[in-house]
Chains A and B, each alone.
Chain A
């Protein structure tokens, strides 16, 4: 998995989500919406979150930009439906560490998301892959649901 060529990374993972993004578009009603961009390249992500107590009841995203930024957000949206907020934060933190090269990334825990590790080989694109995830962590913080890490 980790030794994917760029072509495999795109063809097996990125392009599927890029062409048919999951949970794309506004989520109504929502509790919080946050838009962030990557000033260096203009990638944009707008996240909509709906909470139910300590559960993340729903998450959708809108945005435009390169395939890695959009596919990563789509993978995130697919994974984070109806799970505990704490689990979402842990997952986002884990992705962040994996992308920073601080952790290997646990394939069992990450499931399909482990594929994002393929982007680590292309340092300038890591920011693209992280945009959705950092927006999520910021949105949770803003909603007072973040766990200080």
Chain B
């Protein structure tokens, strides 16, 4: 089933607004997506009809709030194929999810001389926590290289994984190159040397159907705000047995079972990792976002994005732009980082903004990757369910215009 973009566009109120007096053309969904009416309304309804704290109230309203919050957890579990909602921890976002693993599982399991393997295409949020852990513990951080096409050098995996490797951190889809990475292959190799694998699915969750059991990952992180949900909520999936063994993350209310003056015991998973009042309305909003995406169907989302990405790759490259990452849409998602010789990406982003277009320019929180690509910055256009070929045409016109200023 292909998706009805014109109908979907109408679900997003912001797309009816103007930018610099022009039709808003939003091509920066990799940074954060726009929100459909269904999500906005769901959050309003929560505040108007169900608002109370969760896991506390004896009264009916508290039960309603808890049911909404836990219902969202069930939706997340279903969406990623988790066997149990106990595997789903609500966090503030991908960054906090990864840091949660750093402060709990990693601190308990990674010691001096152990190795952590990441890839050369990680977002800073799946790099800096490991740099910090390595400084703290004396462990060693290694980086699996990428090839000229922006794909992982899986052929080198045997060399980079050793019996000292305790953790592999990698993304399922790159936020710069768009590359869709072979997580299952890496997971099998990591498990063969006794390592755990943490998957950064911040870019994958909004765009690709996947199943945590098929990926065979130990941990997986993503953010609500990139997948039609609100900011302030993200997910850490963890294998239930690992979560059970792990020490808690932050200390405080909600994460305890019983407390004495000088010690305490911990709540069951996942509450053990959710200290304090969580972002309840945001979690409920994420649940609504997942239902919205499920209704469209993730296969239809992917099919639409492959079409528009192919169209955009063709049009952008026919302008003579340098495009980073794989050229085959089967191997990549809908983010296209590119440069035009004539126009610096910052100038480009400012100029196209005058035409109502939002594109990103900069290092995309991946400075080591930029260095590898040999550029200080790139422009980047990224697509989602509400983008059309007409949006790509608007981008090309605006790019031509910016080029015109410089030649």
A1 CB to closest chain B CB (Å) equals: 19
| CB contact between B377 and one of A41, A68, A122 (< 8 Å): that residue | A41
Q: Are B347 and A67 in contact (CB under 8 A)?
A: yes
If A15-B405, A65-B376 touch, does A42 touch B350 (CB 8 Å cutoff)?
no
Q: Are A41 and B376 in contact (CB under 8 A)?
A: yes
> Is B59 interfacial (CB-CB < 8 Å)?
no
Query: Which B residues are CB-close (under 8 A) to A42?
Result: 362-363, 370, 375-377
B148 CB to closest chain A CB (Å) equals: 21
> Is B9 interfacial (CB-CB < 8 Å)?
no
| CB contact between A6 and one of B345, B350, B361 (< 8 Å): that residue | B350
Residues from 1 to 49 in A contacting B, C-beta threshold 8 Å: 6-7, 10-11, 15, 40-44
Number of interface residues of A (CB under 8 A): 19
B32 CB to closest chain A CB (Å) equals: 16
> Is A97 interfacial (CB-CB < 8 Å)?
no
| CB contact between A128 and one of B346, B354, B363, B370 (< 8 Å): that residue | B346
Query: Which A residues are CB-close (under 8 A) to B67?
Result: none
> Is B344 interfacial (CB-CB < 8 Å)?
yes
> Is B351 interfacial (CB-CB < 8 Å)?
yes
Q: Are A68 and B346 in contact (CB under 8 A)?
A: yes
If A11-B405, A15-B405 touch, does A125 touch B346 (CB 8 Å cutoff)?
yes
Q: Are A6 and B363 in contact (CB under 8 A)?
A: no
Q: Which residue of B lies closest to A40 (CB)?
A: B362
Residues from 357 to 372 in B contacting A, C-beta threshold 8 Å: 361-363, 370
> Is B406 interfacial (CB-CB < 8 Å)?
yes
Query: Which A residues are CB-close (under 8 A) to B354?
Result: 6-7
Query: Which A residues are CB-close (under 8 A) to B350?
Result: 6, 122, 124-125
Query: Which A residues are CB-close (under 8 A) to B406?
Result: 15, 67
Identify the interface centre among A40, A41, A124: most chain B CB within 10 Å of its CB: A41
Q: Are B362 and A41 in contact (CB under 8 A)?
A: yes
Query: Which B residues are CB-close (under 8 A) to A65?
Result: 344, 346, 376
Q: Which residue of B lies closest to A42 (CB)?
A: B376
CA distance A10 to B406 in the complex (A): 9
CA distance A125 to B349 in the complex (A): 10
Query: Which B residues are CB-close (under 8 A) to A41?
Result: 345-346, 361-363, 376-377
CA distance A44 to B377 in the complex (A): 12
> Is A64 interfacial (CB-CB < 8 Å)?
yes
CA distance A6 to B402 in the complex (A): 11
| CB contact between B351 and one of A6, A43, A64 (< 8 Å): that residue | A6
Encode contact with A along B268-287: 1 for CB under 8 Å, 0 otherwise. Answer: 00000000000000000000
A84 CB to closest chain B CB (Å) equals: 34
> Is A66 interfacial (CB-CB < 8 Å)?
yes
Query: Which B residues are CB-close (under 8 A) to A11?
Result: 405
CA distance A124 to B346 in the complex (A): 9
Residues from 109 to 128 in A contacting B, C-beta threshold 8 Å: 122, 124-125, 128
Identify the interface centre among B350, B362, B406: most chain A CB within 10 Å of its CB: B350
Query: Which A residues are CB-close (under 8 A) to B370?
Result: 42
Residues from 63 to 98 in B contacting A, C-beta threshold 8 Å: none
B293 CB to closest chain A CB (Å) equals: 31
Query: Which B residues are CB-close (under 8 A) to A10?
Result: 347, 351, 405
CA distance A53 to B374 in the complex (A): 41
Query: Which B residues are CB-close (under 8 A) to A66?
Result: 344-347
List chain B positions with a Cβ less than 8 A from chain A: 344-347, 350-351, 354, 361-363, 370, 375-377, 405-406
- Given A6-B354, A44-B376; 9 other pairs, CB 8 A cutoff: A7-B354, A15-B406, A40-B363, A42-B363, A42-B370, A42-B377, A64-B376, A65-B344, A65-B346
What are 6 residue pairs bridging A and B, where the CB atoms are less than 8 Å apart in the complex? A41-B362, A41-B363, A65-B376, A66-B345, A67-B344, A125-B346
